[in-house]
Structures are given as structure tokens and as C-alpha cells.
Amino acid sequence: GSTAWPDGKPPPAAVDDGAGDGAAADADDADDDDDDDESKGATPNVGNGGDGPDGAYVWTQKLDEVEVRVPVPDGTRGKQVDVELTKSHLRVALKAQRDAPLVDGELYADVQHADVIWTVEDRCTVVITVAKANQMEWWRSLIKGHAEINTQKVAPENSKLSDLDGDTRQTVEKMMYDTRAKQLGLPTSEEREKQEMLKKFMAQHPEMDFSQAKIG
């Protein structure tokens, strides 16, 4: 029988069975990369971050900033290190080995690169601190394509919530509440508000029939 293609003609790869299989496999891989499931990934380290490949770096984060620690040979001074940061890319190398960077890749999200602070700690670790452009987002990795963490397991510093202004603090607390509620299968804050409004409305209008109304 003839095969019916959606647009009336077969895809180019259909001519060659081998190429067709390869194309299908590639498409499946691409789908996996687009998976936005926040519940996947490694458990974050104590600083809500993770490790780079082969121990190339360790990164930690707060809601508003990221810190990267890159090990370098003992005795390294700041003037021997080259740190290049744009809003979306980080490169760290020893000046004597520019062609073999210690870290080089596209950042998980944009940063405020003009505000970068870096130093060499104990002459053995380059420490880079930079503010996130979006200060309401937990990163899943430092560099795109590197191992990701499970952002649902991030533990915000509750003591620091008090440092935020009122509106931001409310938003963060709501995000934290909704994340916990989702994990426990409870209604989110918005769903709770709707339930409360409906209950109030019902109390104010006892003459109306609410038998069909759904509440939680």
C-alpha cells in the first residue's frame, strides 16, 4: 500500500533507510535536551550549586548571584590569571596557557557582567562572584551542557529573605510556598486564594445555590 505523508511527500531521509533511522535517533536526542523537568538533576551542594566536569570548578548560588571557584596551581597570583566575562559567557585561563582554558562556555543565563568581582584565594583558587541578570531564578547549571542540579531541592537561606524589599520577599516566599505545595500535592497559594474568595462569596450570598461549585 502507499504511505500517506502529512504534506503529501515523503521526508528526504525516507529514501535511505539507514539515514532515516539516524535522523529519527537524533530527533529523539534533541527532545531529551529540551526537557524542562525541574525535578531531574543532581542534588545541589550545600551552596545550592554543583561541580564542573572532572572537578574543573565548583559553583554555588543565591537567588541574586553566582559564585564560581576554579582550582589553579599552588602559588598562582592574580596577574597570572585571565578572566573574561560577558553577559552570557565565562572564560577562565592561566595567561601562560591561554589555549587551554580552565573554564570556557556559555552561562546558564545572563549575568550583570559589569559587576564581576574576582580574586585568587590562598594562591590556589580563583573565586568569581557575579550578579544574575534575573535575580528571581535558580540556575540548574553554571555552564550550559554541563551537569544540572535539581532546583526543587535548592534550600534558600531563610535568614536572607529579611534582606529583600517587601514585594520581592513576598514573591520569593510565594515561590517557595508553591514549590513545597506542589511537592506535597497541596493547593498553591493562588488556588487557596480562589477557595477563600469563593467561601467568602458563599457566606455573603446564602440565598444562592452553590451545590455545583467546586472547592478544593
Tell if the pTM clears 0.85, that is, is over it: no
d(CA 62, CA 64): 5
Q: What is the pLDDT of residues 99-140, one digit of tens each?
A: 999 999 999 999 997 778 999 999 999 999 999 999 989 999
Q: What is the pLDDT of residues 64-94, one digit of tens each?
A: 999 999 999 999 999 999 999 999 999 999 9
φ and ψ at 171, to 5 degrees?
-65, -45
Q: Pick the closest to residue 173 from 191, 183, 182, 161 (CA basis).
A: 161
143 three-state secondary structure: strand
Q: What is the pLDDT of residues 144-178, one digit of tens each?
A: 999 999 999 998 765 455 566 677 667 767 776 77
Confidence of residue 7 (pLDDT cuts 50, 70, 90): low
Return all residues near 108 (Cβ < 8 A) that are at least 6 apart.
139, 140, 141, 142, 143, 144
C-alpha cell, 211: 451545590
